[in-house]
Protein backbone atom coordinates (compact mmCIF):
# COMPACT_ATOMS: atom_id res chain seq x y z
CA UNK A 1 0.00 0.00 0.00
CA UNK A 2 1.59 3.26 -1.12
CA UNK A 3 -0.09 5.08 1.79
CA UNK A 4 2.28 3.45 4.28
CA UNK A 5 5.25 5.43 3.04
CA UNK A 6 4.01 8.93 3.89
CA UNK A 7 2.69 7.69 7.23
CA UNK A 8 6.12 6.39 8.20
CA UNK A 9 7.73 9.67 7.13
CA UNK A 10 5.24 11.65 9.22
CA UNK A 11 5.85 9.47 12.27
CA UNK A 12 9.62 9.85 11.84
CA UNK A 13 9.31 13.62 11.57
CA UNK A 14 6.73 14.03 14.35
CA UNK A 15 8.79 12.01 16.81
CA UNK A 16 12.08 13.48 15.54
CA UNK A 17 13.56 10.02 15.07
CA UNK A 18 17.11 9.83 13.81
CA UNK A 19 18.54 7.21 11.47
CA UNK A 20 19.84 5.06 14.31
CA UNK A 21 16.42 4.74 15.92
CA UNK A 22 14.73 4.09 12.57
CA UNK A 23 17.36 1.48 11.75
CA UNK A 24 16.82 -0.25 15.09
CA UNK A 25 13.05 -0.30 14.55
CA UNK A 26 13.41 -1.86 11.11
CA UNK A 27 15.96 -4.35 12.45
CA UNK A 28 13.51 -5.37 15.18
CA UNK A 29 10.71 -5.72 12.63
CA UNK A 30 12.94 -8.07 10.59
CA UNK A 31 13.72 -10.11 13.70
CA UNK A 32 10.00 -10.44 14.46
CA UNK A 33 9.30 -11.57 10.89
CA UNK A 34 12.05 -14.17 11.06
CA UNK A 35 10.73 -15.46 14.39
CA UNK A 36 7.23 -15.68 12.91
CA UNK A 37 8.71 -17.68 10.03
CA UNK A 38 10.12 -20.16 12.51
CA UNK A 39 6.68 -20.28 14.16
CA UNK A 40 4.91 -21.31 10.95
CA UNK A 41 4.25 -17.99 9.17
CA UNK A 42 5.50 -18.98 5.71
CA UNK A 43 4.71 -19.13 2.04
CA UNK A 44 3.15 -16.27 0.14
CA UNK A 45 2.13 -14.35 3.26
CA UNK A 46 5.72 -14.37 4.52
CA UNK A 47 7.08 -13.31 1.12
CA UNK A 48 4.64 -10.39 0.96
CA UNK A 49 5.51 -9.29 4.51
CA UNK A 50 9.26 -9.47 3.85
CA UNK A 51 8.91 -7.62 0.54
CA UNK A 52 6.89 -4.88 2.23
CA UNK A 53 9.47 -4.53 5.01
CA UNK A 54 12.31 -4.42 2.47
CA UNK A 55 10.55 -1.74 0.42
CA UNK A 56 9.55 0.45 3.37
CA UNK A 57 12.99 0.10 4.94
CA UNK A 58 14.80 0.91 1.71
CA UNK A 59 12.68 4.02 1.21
CA UNK A 60 13.19 5.13 4.83
CA UNK A 61 16.94 4.56 4.65
CA UNK A 62 17.14 6.40 1.31
CA UNK A 63 16.96 9.70 3.22
CA UNK A 64 19.89 8.85 5.49
CA UNK A 65 23.25 10.54 5.12
CA UNK A 66 25.97 9.53 4.58
CA UNK A 67 25.50 6.74 2.06
CA UNK A 68 27.46 4.39 4.31
CA UNK A 69 24.67 4.71 6.90
CA UNK A 70 22.07 3.64 4.33
CA UNK A 71 24.17 0.69 3.23
CA UNK A 72 24.86 -0.34 6.82
CA UNK A 73 21.22 -0.24 7.94
CA UNK A 74 19.93 -2.05 4.87
CA UNK A 75 22.77 -4.56 5.16
CA UNK A 76 21.74 -5.40 8.73
CA UNK A 77 18.20 -5.97 7.54
CA UNK A 78 19.34 -8.20 4.68
CA UNK A 79 21.53 -10.21 7.03
CA UNK A 80 18.67 -10.88 9.45
CA UNK A 81 16.38 -11.86 6.57
CA UNK A 82 19.09 -13.99 4.96
CA UNK A 83 19.01 -12.18 1.62
CA UNK A 84 21.79 -11.26 -0.77
CA UNK A 85 22.15 -7.67 -1.94
CA UNK A 86 20.92 -8.65 -5.42
CA UNK A 87 17.90 -10.55 -4.12
CA UNK A 88 16.90 -7.69 -1.80
CA UNK A 89 17.33 -5.20 -4.66
CA UNK A 90 15.20 -7.32 -6.99
CA UNK A 91 12.45 -7.62 -4.39
CA UNK A 92 12.37 -3.89 -3.58
CA UNK A 93 12.37 -3.10 -7.31
CA UNK A 94 9.40 -5.42 -7.82
CA UNK A 95 7.42 -3.66 -5.07
CA UNK A 96 8.40 -0.21 -6.40
CA UNK A 97 7.31 -1.14 -9.90
CA UNK A 98 4.01 -2.63 -8.70
CA UNK A 99 3.16 0.50 -6.70
CA UNK A 100 4.15 2.77 -9.56
CA UNK A 101 2.09 0.65 -11.96
CA UNK A 102 -0.94 1.26 -9.71
CA UNK A 103 -0.25 5.00 -9.88
CA UNK A 104 -0.03 4.78 -13.66
CA UNK A 105 -3.26 2.80 -13.89
CA UNK A 106 -5.02 5.49 -11.87
CA UNK A 107 -3.69 8.16 -14.24
CA UNK A 108 -4.97 6.52 -17.43
CA UNK A 109 -8.51 7.73 -16.83
CA UNK A 110 -7.67 11.20 -15.57
CA UNK A 111 -4.84 12.76 -17.57
CA UNK A 112 -4.42 16.48 -16.99
CA UNK A 113 -1.70 19.13 -16.86
CA UNK A 114 -0.36 17.90 -13.51
CA UNK A 115 -0.05 14.25 -14.55
CA UNK A 116 3.63 14.41 -15.48
CA UNK A 117 4.57 16.10 -12.19
CA UNK A 118 2.51 13.60 -10.21
CA UNK A 119 4.20 10.69 -11.95
CA UNK A 120 7.65 12.17 -11.39
CA UNK A 121 6.90 12.56 -7.69
CA UNK A 122 5.58 9.01 -7.45
CA UNK A 123 8.62 7.52 -9.18
CA UNK A 124 10.93 9.29 -6.72
CA UNK A 125 8.82 8.27 -3.72
CA UNK A 126 8.83 4.63 -4.83
CA UNK A 127 12.56 4.66 -5.57
CA UNK A 128 12.35 3.88 -9.26
CA UNK A 129 15.26 4.64 -11.56
CA UNK A 130 14.52 7.22 -14.23
CA UNK A 131 14.85 4.58 -16.98
CA UNK A 132 12.36 2.26 -15.27
CA UNK A 133 9.72 4.92 -14.80
CA UNK A 134 10.26 6.30 -18.32
CA UNK A 135 9.53 2.90 -19.85
CA UNK A 136 6.46 2.42 -17.70
CA UNK A 137 5.27 5.96 -18.51
CA UNK A 138 5.67 5.35 -22.23
CA UNK A 139 3.49 2.25 -22.06
CA UNK A 140 0.84 4.13 -20.06
CA UNK A 141 0.80 7.06 -22.50
CA UNK A 142 0.44 4.52 -25.33
CA UNK A 143 -2.64 3.10 -23.56
CA UNK A 144 -4.07 6.59 -23.15
CA UNK A 145 -3.63 7.34 -26.86
CA UNK A 146 -5.27 4.04 -27.84
CA UNK A 147 -8.24 4.85 -25.58
CA UNK A 148 -8.56 8.35 -27.03
CA UNK A 149 -8.58 7.00 -30.58
CA UNK A 150 -11.41 4.54 -29.94
Instruction: Find the mean pLDDT for residues 22-35.
Output: 94
Residue closest to 5 by CA, chosen among 138, 113, 136, 103: 103
Torsion, Cα 43 45 46 50, to 10 degrees, reads 140
- Provide the pLDDT for residue 38: 67
Query: How sure is the predictor about 136, in pLDDT bands with cuts at 50, 70 and 90?
Result: confident
Query: What pTM was computed for the model?
Result: 0.79
- The burial of 111, by beta-carbon neighbours within 10 Å (0-12 exposed, 13-18 middle, 19 or more buried), is given as middle
Four-residue CA torsion sign, 32, 8, 128, 112: positive
Euclidean distance between CA atoms 34 and 114, whole angstroms: 42
- Indicate the helix (H) or strand (E) that contains 130: helix 130-149
The string of DSSP letters for 73-126 reads HHHHHHHHHT--HHHHHHHHHHHHHHHHHHHHHHHHT---TTHHHHHHHHHHHT
Cβ neighbours of residue 112 closer than 8 Å, sequence gap 6 or more:
none
pLDDT score for 131: 86
Amino acid sequence: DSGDLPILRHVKAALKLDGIVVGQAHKRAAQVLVSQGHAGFQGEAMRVAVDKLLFLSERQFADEEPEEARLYEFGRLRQILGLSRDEARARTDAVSQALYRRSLDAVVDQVDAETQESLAGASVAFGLAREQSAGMNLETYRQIVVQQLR
